[in-house]
């Protein structure tokens, strides 16, 4: 993950109780009006509404706040509740890792052939086929590893009443948040174009001290994610 110029959209890598930042009134995100794959995929039986009901507020665990894009205001906190951390941001497209038909140096002008975390064979992850989320690089704002968030941590992504499970697969800029792999974006029915695609109003819930094994197994991510989501609902 890395930051694009503004004209290309940002891409990539004691709790204080504060109210969740209100959603800003704005026109529909122009990226969401672009053509995108039909439908979307709901994974597992846990309902998006139930998860969203548990993350309405924000016990902020980050020391500061993040931007959604290079020049956007820094107004996105990382929040914590029980065995989960979460944030609400937009979704930009990470196309890094193994080159494929849709993710390569021709389709993505800032394509990188590496990801921060590797598969079980030591190779880069494949953004084109593996749903993963990108977390900010460690910084004074927040250090993910200090809260049990590492490569392979399982996550639930919520968009338009759909739940998609994924792994932490890459890291990005230290001051920008809100990104997922090409595969995750496609599964949610969002425009996956690496330059013009993406969406707004996405919730990311990451479950602390979890590890999908092997990291490249989406089936394993769904099974572990569903179990963790049910546990999160039961104890919070």
Q: Give percent above pLDDT 90 in the chain.
A: 79
The answer to whether residue 110 is domain-embedded is yes
Q: Can you give the CATH number for the domain in which 89 is found?
A: 2.40.40.10
Query: What is the residue range of 213's domain?
Result: 40-235
The answer to whether residue 31 is domain-embedded is no
Torsion 158-86-227-169 (CA) sign: positive
Residue 30, judged by CB atoms within 10 A of its CB (0-12, 13-18, 19+), counts as exposed
pLDDT digit string (tens) for 149-190? 999 999 999 999 999 999 999 999 999 999 999 999 999 999
Confidence check: pLDDT of 37 > 90 = no
Reported confidence tier of residue 42, pLDDT bands at 50, 70, 90:
confident
- Across the range 23-52, mean pLDDT stands at 63
Look at the chain and report how many structural domains it folds into. Answer: 1
Closest CA to 235 of 83, 119, 108, 121: 83
The answer to whether residue 214 is domain-embedded is yes
pLDDT digit string (tens) for 87-109? 999 999 999 999 999 999 999 99
Confidence check: pLDDT of 17 > 70 = no
Confidence check: pLDDT of 199 > 90 = yes
The answer to whether residue 51 is domain-embedded is yes
The answer to whether residue 17 is domain-embedded is no
Closest CA to 236 of 124, 86, 120, 111: 86
The alpha carbon of 236 is separated from its chain's Cα centroid by a whole number of angstroms, namely 22
Quote the radius of gyration of the chain (alpha carbons, Å): 16
Give the separation between CA 67 and CA 98, rounded to whole angstroms. 27
- Across the range 60-65, mean pLDDT stands at 98
Residue 220 near residue 227 (C-beta atoms within 8 A): no
Q: Which two tokens stand for residue 44?
A: 């597992």
The answer to whether residue 97 is domain-embedded is yes
Model pLDDT, residue 8: 36
Q: Of residues 10 and 206, which shows the higher confidence score?
A: 206
Q: Which two tokens stand for residue 23?
A: 């959603």
Quote the Cα angle for 113-132-201, to 5°: 120
Quote the Cα angle for 115-154-68, to 5°: 60
How much is the pTM?
Answer: 0.85
The answer to whether residue 5 is domain-embedded is no
Model pLDDT, residue 192: 94
Give the separation between CA 87 and CA 76, rounded to whole angstroms. 7
The answer to whether residue 226 is domain-embedded is yes
């Amino acid at each position: 993950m890395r930051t694009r110029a503004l004209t290309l959209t940002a891409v990539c890598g004691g709790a204080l109780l504060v109210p969740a930042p209100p959603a800003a009134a704005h026109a529909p995100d122009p990226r969401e009006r672009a053509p995108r794959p039909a439908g979307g995929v709901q994974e597992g039986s846990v309902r998006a509404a139930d998860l969203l009901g548990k993350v309405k507020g924000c016990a902020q665990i980050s020391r500061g706040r993040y931007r959604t894009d290079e020049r956007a205001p820094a107004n996105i906190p990382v929040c914590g509740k029980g065995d989960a951390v979460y944030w609400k941001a937009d979704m930009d497209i990470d196309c890094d890792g193994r080159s494929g038909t849709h993710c390569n140096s021709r389709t993505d002008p800032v394509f990188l052939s590496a990801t921060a975390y590797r598969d079980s064979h030591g190779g880069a992850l494949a953004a084109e086929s593996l749903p993963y989320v990108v977390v900010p690089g460690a910084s004074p704002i927040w250090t993910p590893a200090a809260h049990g968030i590492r490569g392979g941590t399982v996550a639930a992504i919520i968009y338009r009443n759909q739940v998609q499970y994924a792994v932490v697969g890459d890291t990005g800029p230290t001051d920008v948040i809100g990104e997922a792999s090409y595969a995750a974006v496609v599964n949610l029915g969002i425009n996956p174009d690496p330059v013009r695609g993406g969406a707004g109003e996405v919730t990311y819930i990451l479950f602390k001290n979890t590890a999908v094994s092997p990291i490249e197994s989406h089936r394993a991510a769904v099974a572990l994610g569903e179990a963790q989501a049910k546990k999160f609902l039961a104890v919070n």
